[in-house]
Amino acid sequence: MSKFLSDHNPENAFSCWLRWITLISLFVSFSVYVFVAHPSRVSTAAEPHPWISDAPPKMARMIDIGQVKILEDDIAVKNAQRAAITLYNIHVQFDLRYTQTPIRPANAVRRKTSIQVKFTNPKVTLEHEIKLSTNYKPEKPWESRLLLHEMDHVAISTDPRLIKILKSLLQAPAKLTIDLSTNANQDATTITQAIEDLQQARRVAVQMIVQKYYERLDAQSNNGLDDIDQRNEFFMGLYSKEDLESLEFPYLKEIRVAQADANLESVANHYLISDSQ
User: Residue 206: what are its φ and ψ, rounded to 5°?
Assistant: -70, -45
% of the chain exceeding 90 in pLDDT: 43
> How far is residue 112's CA from residue 103's CA, in Å, rounded to a whole number?
5
pLDDT for res 265 = 81
pTM over 0.85: no
- Confidence tier at 67 by pLDDT (50, 70, 90): very high
pLDDT in tens, 165-224: 999 998 899 999 988 877 777 788 888 899 989 988 998 899 899 999 999 999 999 988
Q: What is the mean pLDDT of residues 98-106?
A: 77
Q: Residue 52's closest CA among 35, 65, 64, 36?
A: 64
pLDDT at residue 106 in the model: 56
Q: What is the pLDDT of residue 273?
A: 56
Kindly report the number of other CB atoms within 10 A of residue 276's CB atom: 5
| DSSP code per residue over 171-233 | T--EEEEEEE-S-HHHHHHHHHHHHHHHHHHHHHHHHHHHHHHHHHHHHHHTTTTSPPTTHHH
3-state secondary structure at position 188: helix
Can you give the pLDDT at residue 263? 78
